[in-house]
């Protein structure tokens, strides 16, 4: 059972963190009682550093977004995967870790690979209401998939022979496999984990990000990953990686944008909206620079970056519109739901731009862009062009070491006039 720490009727100075308690190694209940895990330890450390009393609030995965929107807690920390429908409801932090969805099967099972699972006779179990259920249903469309209310129940069903396979991830699977005759198939995704803050708590989201960036720079966040996750040198909260991850989160909303425009009969290109986005981005960077020692970023460099982001965004929208609308997906409201989410992500992007180091390694920046921009779901040559254009625009914000001068100045991918 989940417990509350330092609960009080006095809400001043209280940080309420939602956590599931059923997701090892992020949030779990040890045999001795209480709660532990990477995200639980992170919440305790942040609250202690900021002089806040911490209250851990239980949630069920199917209820996460409703609970967040209803204000049951200020933020959720429980191995939460960054997904676009969650970005629409709250504010993700910079990424904390990465994992990938995989499938566990009995060692003796005649299931050789992921393709062999996608058959009507295969029974797969997965935790209900979270990211893993979504990706399981998307990947194994012909299999019989049963969602179970909690993660321990998923493992129990597999071990007791009530399922042929169980979906978990690369960080949880080693704990499930220990001492059991199980083997892994996959992974078949690469996902980011982050804190999810209430949409109406921008100050908390900004402070948490600043704290995480500092913890990453000091090496303390990496030590916590090693202790709980067994991960070495991921550094997902370093400024460059976190910046491209935030840009990728922005791109993940573009299919929603396309669906909304299709439903409303709106054009993809809107020059007036584009210019508003650019002006808002520059103003956001100027606000983020206040109180820092960072050298001010040139306005034209910030504009160039956001034009490259808009170019990539419109390419994803066009790709989405080239396919039939998904009848099972209800379009979101462009003004009331999607654009506020884009503005929230834009605030984080602005803050991360200010946190970029004074000098950037060109090769590493381009490699990071190629790795992190996972929602550029385009033809390879088009995707690579946009990835390089975004990377070169980032390089143009700070001095670059080893940069190809011509590429840095003229690396824009010509996608025409675009808008959101």
Same domain, 250 and 384: yes
Residues 6+ apart with CB under 8 A from 96: 38, 39, 42, 193, 194, 195, 212, 221, 236, 237
Residue 32 lies in domain? 14-97+193-228
What is the total count of domains within the chain?
3
pLDDT of residue 6: 39
- Average pLDDT, rounded, for the chain: 92
Give the C-alpha separation, 241 to 255, whole Å.
23
Region for 370 from its dihedrals, namely left if φ exceeds 0, alpha if ψ lies in -120 to 50, beta otherwise: alpha
Residues 19 and 59 occupy one common structural domain: yes
pLDDT digits 0-9 by tens, 213-239: 999 999 999 999 999 999 766 789 999
**Which CATH number characterizes residue 24's domain?**
3.40.190.10
Query: Could you tell me the CATH number of the domain that includes residue 349?
Result: 1.20.59.10
Task: Note whether 199 and 185 are same-domain residues.
Answer: no
Same domain, yes or no: 376 and 251: yes
CA distance 186 to 126: 15
| Domain-embedded: residue 151 | yes
The band of 262, judged by pLDDT with boundaries at 50, 70 and 90, is: very high
What's the half-sphere exposure (Cβ side, CA atoms, 13 Å) at 101? Answer: 22
More confident residue, 4 or 35: 35
Q: Are residues 44 and 61 in the same domain?
A: yes
The pLDDT value given to residue 231: 78
Domain membership of residue 218 (yes or no) is: yes
Give the per-residue pLDDT at 37.
Answer: 98
Residue 415 lies in a domain: no
Q: Which of 171, 204, 228 is the last residue of a domain?
A: 228
374 and 252 in one domain? yes
In a domain, 1, yes or no: no
Residue 109 lies in a domain: yes
Are residues 145 and 51 part of one domain?
no
State whether 329 and 376 are in the same domain.
yes
Distance of alpha carbon 363 from alpha carbon 12, whole angstroms: 47
- For residue 414, is pLDDT > 60? no
Q: Tell me: pLDDT of 420 over 60.
A: no
Residue 87 shares a structural domain with residue 110: no
Q: When comparing pLDDT for 11 and 74, which is higher?
A: 74
Q: Are residues 115 and 145 in the same domain?
A: yes
In a domain, 167, yes or no: yes
Contacts of 31 by beta carbon, 8 Å cutoff, 6+ apart: none
More confident residue, 9 or 29: 29
pLDDT of residue 11: 61
**Residue 7 forms part of a structural domain:** no
**Each residue of 63-111: pLDDT tens digit?**
999 999 999 999 999 999 999 999 999 999 999 999 999 999 999 999 9
Q: Which of 177, 206, 228 is the last residue in one of the domains?
A: 228
Do 206 and 183 sit in the same domain of this protein? no
Q: Return the structure tokens found at 235.
A: 């550094």
54 within 8 A of 6, measured Cβ to Cβ:
yes
Looking at the structure, tell me whether residues 221 and 266 fall in a common domain: no
User: Per-residue confidence at 402, pLDDT binned at 50, 70, 90?
Assistant: low
What pLDDT was estimated at residue 2? 41
Task: Quote the percentage of the chain above a pLDDT of 70.
Answer: 92
Q: Residue 4 has what pLDDT?
A: 42
Buried b (16+ CB within 10 A) or exposed e, 350-386: bbbbbbbeeebbbeebbebbbebbbbbebeeeebbbb
9, part of any domain: no
């Amino acid at each position: 059972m989940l417990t509350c720490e330092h609960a009080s009727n006095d809400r001043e100075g209280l940080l309420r963190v939602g956590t599931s308690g059923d997701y090892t190694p992020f949030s779990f209940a040890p045999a001795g009682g209480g709660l532990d895990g990477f995200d639980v330890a992170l919440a305790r450390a942040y609250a202690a550093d900021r002089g806040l009393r911490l209250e851990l609030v239980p949630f069920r995965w199917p209820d996460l977004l409703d609970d967040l929107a209803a204000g049951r807690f200020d933020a959720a920390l429980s191995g939460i995967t960054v997904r676009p429908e969650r970005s629409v409801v709250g504010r993700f932090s910079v990424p904390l870790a990465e994992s990938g969805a995989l499938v566990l099967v009995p060692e003796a099972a005649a299931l050789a690979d992921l393709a062999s699972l996608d058959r009507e006779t295969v029974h797969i179990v997965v935790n209900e209401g979270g990211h893993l259920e979504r990706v399981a249903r998307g990947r194994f469309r012909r299999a019989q998939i049963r969602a179970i209310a909690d993660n321990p129940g998923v493992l129990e069903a597999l071990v007791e022979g009530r399922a042929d396979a169980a979906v978990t991830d690369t960080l949880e699977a080693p704990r499930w496999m220990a001492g059991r005759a199980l083997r892994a198939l996959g992974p078949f995704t690469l996902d980011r984990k982050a804190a999810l803050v209430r949409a109406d708590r921008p100050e908390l989201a900004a402070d948490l990000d600043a704290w995480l960036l500092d913890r990453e720079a000091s090496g303390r966040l990496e030590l916590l990953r090693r202790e709980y996750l067994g991960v070495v040198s991921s550094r997902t909260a370093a400024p460059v990686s976190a910046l491209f991850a935030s840009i990728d989160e922005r791109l993940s909303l573009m299919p929603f944008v396309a669906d909304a425009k299709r439903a409303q009969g709106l054009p993809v290109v809107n020059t007036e909206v584009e210019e508003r986005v650019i002006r808002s981005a520059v103003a956001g960077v100027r606000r983020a620079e206040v109180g820092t020692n960072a050298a001010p970023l040139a306005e034209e460099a910030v504009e160039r970056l956001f034009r490259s982001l808009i170019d990539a965004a419109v390419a994803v929208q066009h790709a989405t519109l080239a396919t039939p609308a998904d009848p099972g997906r209800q379009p979101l409201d462009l003004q009331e739901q999607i654009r506020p989410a884009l503005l929230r992500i834009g605030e984080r992007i602005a803050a991360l731009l200010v946190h970029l180091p004074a000098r950037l390694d060109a090769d590493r920046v381009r490699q990071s862009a190629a790795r992190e921009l996972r929602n550029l779901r385009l033809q390879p040559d088009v995707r690579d062009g946009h990835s390089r254009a975004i990377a070169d625009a980032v390089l143009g914000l700070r001095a670059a070491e080893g940069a190809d001068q011509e590429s840095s100045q003229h690396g824009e991918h010509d996608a025409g006039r675009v808008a959101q």
